Structure 1
Amino acid sequence: MTAQPNINDLNPYIHGFYAPQRRELTALDLPVIGELPKDLHGAFVRNGPNPFNDPQGPHHWFDGDGMIHAIYFENGKAEYRNRYVGSADHLADRTGGCGAGGVLLPATRSRGEKVYKDTANTDLVLHNGQLMALWYISGTPVRLNARTLETLGEETFGGHLPRHVSAHSKVDPLTGEFVFFDYSLYEPWMSFGVVSKDNELTHFAKVDLPGPRLPHDMGLTKNYIILHDLPVVFTESGLRNSMWQIQTQNRGARFGVVPRNGSGDQVRWFETDPCYIYHVANAWEEGDEVVMHACRMVPNGLKPNPAYGAYATMVTVMALHAVPFEWRMNMATGEIRQRQLDDRLGEFPIINQEYTGRKSRWSYNVSMAPEELQRFDGLIKYNLETGDSEVCMHPAGWGGSEAGFAPRIGAVDEDDGYVISFVTDPVNGRSEVHVIAAKNFADGPIARIPLPGRVPAGFHGTWAAGDLIRN
């Protein structure tokens, strides 16, 4: 009997470079091509989607169970581990199903506020000496040991978490505070909160909106949070039928600047051109101005490719075409100004996290290959003041990950350290970690570390300094 075709036979985001790696591996004292610096100490950890079971129905790349890949450095040596994130929904799926599906299926409103499977697969932060895995639709943070990747359990901040936490919440490196935002898919509000370095919820506030919104990131400065009200929202039929169907509204974008310990009625809204933003590089205060650097989406011009069957539209929408932008919001005059730094396609910006919320000069963005599918073909180091840049491309045909910046021990300035990335050859499945000296960025990796298993394409990561990891 001929096997019946599966809807996912034509889904490119579960095959090849994007196929899950289901083996959980530990490899100590890895081989190194080149030389690892002795002043590199800590772990670069990266999150991403990795389905535990073969999807049988409609499957979006963002639906996969969270899996962490980590490379740990100490005394010129490296260790690798990868582990699934043990969110409650992932554990339930292992034993019979969590009762919720992904974003291509109708939302399961009967589960209450968490209407899709919470995979904790999107981002990672280091807070209070441990990792927290975060989810982009706004879910329950999952704590992990930053050294071993062992899941420690879901985080509710002592039972005081009001609802959920969205991915791309931030940690203030000077105060140790975790500053988060949240939003509802179906109700007209956003919220924000602050958790102390000792894991105590110290502030929470709601912001009323004209309708439900779909923000993805936020900005953080020394004194302010920057919320995003962007003109990409659910369609009326999507809201009515609990389906992930989006549209662009005929209006501009708004950035809401609010004191991090303020109330919802203290938001100052700055209106600008229509746009959508996935990822912020950094934000800070400069005189009367609040400055934000982020990647602004631009039209990709792609038409749905019938070769992907039912997934043709998904592939087109997911082609992440964006360019680096700066916005300056004047708190005294109410004026907002913007400038574009470059016209090359790039995304997933990262900085030296010790400068989060403070004025920074350097951003390290992935370069986007000019293809239908998301493949990061290199890295771009931007000078945020001048717009100048340097490029370090991956080997031809390889795909990379969002990078991490590791300040070297004894660093004396912002880019005194190393840029680290997982890279994979999609043809043979060989993966490596590349370590680049940031001050000699264009020279390429000073060390390459072959890995014992393939690392699929994924999402976001963080640097966990060795002296901050709590064992």
Structure 2
Amino acid sequence: METPAAAAGNPNRFNPYLQGLYAPVSREETVLRCDIAGELPRELWGAYVRNGPNPARAPQDLHHWFDGDGMLHGVWFEDGRAEYRSRYLRTADFEADQAEGCGAGGVMLPARRDRRGTVYKDTANTDVLLHGGSLLALWYVGGIPLRVDARSLQTLGEERFGGRLPRHVSAHSKTDPASGELVFFDYALYEPWMSFGVADRDGRLLNAGTVELPGPRLPHDMGLTENYLVLHDLPVVLTEQGLARGQWTIEQRRGQPARFGVVPRRGQGSQVRWFETDPCYIYHVINAWEEGDEIVMQACRMVPNGLAPNRAYGPYAAMAAVLALHAVPWEWRMNLKSGAVRQRQLDDRIGEFPVVNLDRAGRRTQYGYVMSIDTATDLQRFDGIHKYDLQSGACRSWRYAPGWFGSEAAFAPRIAAQDEDDGWLVVFVTEAATGRSEVQVLDARDIDRGPVATVRLPCRVPAGFHATWARGDQVRAA
């Protein structure tokens, strides 16, 4: 398995997120005919693509897992066959690094602003979604969307909505499955506002607005319904010292409530309706929808993990403690008529990185798929998948073999499916001890039966971030 050089003076010899499951791979790969165990369904047509960090050079300075150059790993399924590719995301900052022969600093170092006004290096390494027939790769600090061919994974260029991009676009913006519109949000590290916007399926900007806030915020996701966005004002912020020094140091403000801002999709920021609730932090939304007078949002709500910083990680102890995600599924109901908020915990299983059938995104869904977190470690590892019936609370699970750990899965609907869960879950899985990687294909209606087919890969896929499914009939040829 590849590991970065760990010279005695290099602090990354302590960094667990540059080793083992998380170690970067050394090159881009193309495998046009993958070995398959079992039989891939002929109706499985499209691309499973996952984003994540993969430093092109071995880091020499303090390095956060979130800093790595973006790399997409994708499998294209068609006619019972599978082909695999991995490609770097060639953002302007990536190309500048290549030209300069060095790497820009990340969030554990003081911010730099000498490249096009960016605060940190824009890697586009966080999220990926299908919009207008191709992929958009997005960054969690808010960057320039990068358009990518869904099959070849080649970078096509920046997406600036015909030159009308207001500023940046954050990861976890959404594509509406009915209209094809991209609904996005952005936030500022140092200024008291968030923004949102809508672009049509052809990349034309339809609306943009700004929501004023009491101070800078660090939201990670948003909710989307047929007519509204749900913005997150949460009590986790950059510290005053961090703001002054231009460094990424965060704190949870005790007693500050969480607020959800409901904004009409085609409205202005002044129309926001705030709903205040108990203090909490949310990384990832499961889904949101409208139900009578209520906006319903389901998400993975963080709960304390009880971990103390592990001294074995040296300067990375605090980073590792924060990355050990500990969350449970939760529901909030915001009544647009009365202004009331109701909430309830849906289950007590620990999990994160939720996904749904994207054809139902923004509409009432019955099923959600949450990656099960391995609580026997202080590192972020997914040891299986929970399938929730979000209406009844029932849960079925699939656990990977001991020593194997997965990425975020994606739901792939059967062609012409009528039922919400008629399709497959596809997921990259890697054996920690050997680095062997594969893609498991699970029947979403019978998840605990195990894979109906497995795509065996001749190269390792390191642990990473978010994934998507791109339906074959919706992919536009480059």
TM-score (norm 2): 0.97
- Which of 83, 87, 94 is equivalent to 2:98? 94
Q: Which residue of 2 aligns with 1:301?
A: 306
CA distance in 1, matches of 2:217, 2:114: 21
- Which of 313, 335, 338 is equivalent to 2:340? 335
CA distance in 2, matches of 1:270, 1:410: 39
Amino acid at match of 1:422: F
- Which of 401, 414, 425 is equivalent to 2:420? 414
- Which of 425, 428, 431 is equivalent to 2:434? 428
Q: Which residue of 1 aligns with 2:223?
A: 219
The DSSP-based 3-state class of the residue aligned with 1:95 is: helix
The DSSP-based 3-state class of the residue aligned with 1:427 is: coil
Q: Does 1:132 align with 2:132?
A: no
CA distance in 2, matches of 1:9, 1:98: 20
Q: Which residue of 2 aligns with 1:26?
A: 30
Q: Does 1:393 align with 2:396?
A: no
- Which of 157, 160, 163 is equivalent to 1:159? 163
Q: Which residue of 1 aligns with 2:3?
A: none
Identity %: 62
| Cα offset, 1:111, TM superposition | 4.4
| Cα offset, 1:207, TM superposition | 0.4
CA distance in 2, matches of 1:237, 1:203: 36
| Cα offset, 1:21, TM superposition | 1.1
Change in Cα spacing, 1:3 to 1:158, as seen in structure 2 (3 Å) is closer
Change in Cα spacing, 1:99 to 1:437, as seen in structure 2 (3 Å) is closer
Residues 7 and 13 of structure 2 are in contact (CA less than 8 Å); yes or no, is this contact kept in structure 1?
A: no
| Cα offset, 1:29, TM superposition | 2.2
Q: Does 1:312 align with 2:311?
A: no
CA distance in 1, matches of 2:8, 2:355: 44
The DSSP-based 3-state class of the residue aligned with 2:191 is: coil
- Which of 3, 8, 13 is equivalent to 1:9? 13
Q: Which moved more, 1:105-114 or 1:341-350?
A: 105-114
| Cα offset, 1:230, TM superposition | 0.1
| Cα offset, 1:113, TM superposition | 4.6
The CA RMSD measured in Å over matched residues stands at 1.2
Q: Does 1:150 align with 2:154?
A: yes
Q: Which residue of 1 aligns with 2:297?
A: 292
Amino acid at match of 1:376: F
| Cα offset, 1:98, TM superposition | 7.4
CA distance in 2, matches of 1:442, 1:99: 44
Deviations 1:27-47 (CA, angstroms, capped at 9, x unpaired): 122111111011110000000
| Cα offset, 1:180, TM superposition | 0.2
| Cα offset, 1:112, TM superposition | 6.2
CA distance in 2, matches of 1:155, 1:198: 11
Q: Which residue of 1 aligns with 2:208?
A: 204
- Which of 458, 461, 471 is equivalent to 1:465? 471
Q: Which residue of 2 aligns with 1:373?
A: 379
Residues 150 and 475 of structure 2 are in contact (CA less than 8 Å); yes or no, is this contact kept in structure 1?
A: yes
Change in Cα spacing, 1:97 to 1:184, as seen in structure 2 (3 Å) is farther
Change in Cα spacing, 1:108 to 1:467, as seen in structure 2 (3 Å) is same
| Cα offset, 1:198, TM superposition | 1.4
The DSSP-based 3-state class of the residue aligned with 2:274 is: strand
The DSSP-based 3-state class of the residue aligned with 2:73 is: strand
Q: Does 1:405 align with 2:415?
A: no
Q: Segments of 4+ in structure 1 off by > 2 A?
A: 2-5, 97-100, 109-113
Aligned pair count?
470
Deviations 1:292-351 (CA, angstroms, capped at 9, x unpaired): 010000011101111111111111111100000011000011010111111111000000
Extract unaligned runs of 5+ from structure 2: 1-5
CA distance in 2, matches of 1:154, 1:112: 14
- Which of 273, 278, 290 is equivalent to 2:278? 273
Q: Which residue of 2 aligns with 1:78?
A: 82
TM-score (norm 1): 0.98
- Which of 229, 233, 238 is equivalent to 2:242? 238
CA distance in 1, matches of 2:112, 2:35: 47
| Cα offset, 1:421, TM superposition | 0.2
| Cα offset, 1:397, TM superposition | 1.4
| Cα offset, 1:209, TM superposition | 0.3
Amino acid at match of 2:381: R
The DSSP-based 3-state class of the residue aligned with 2:100 is: coil
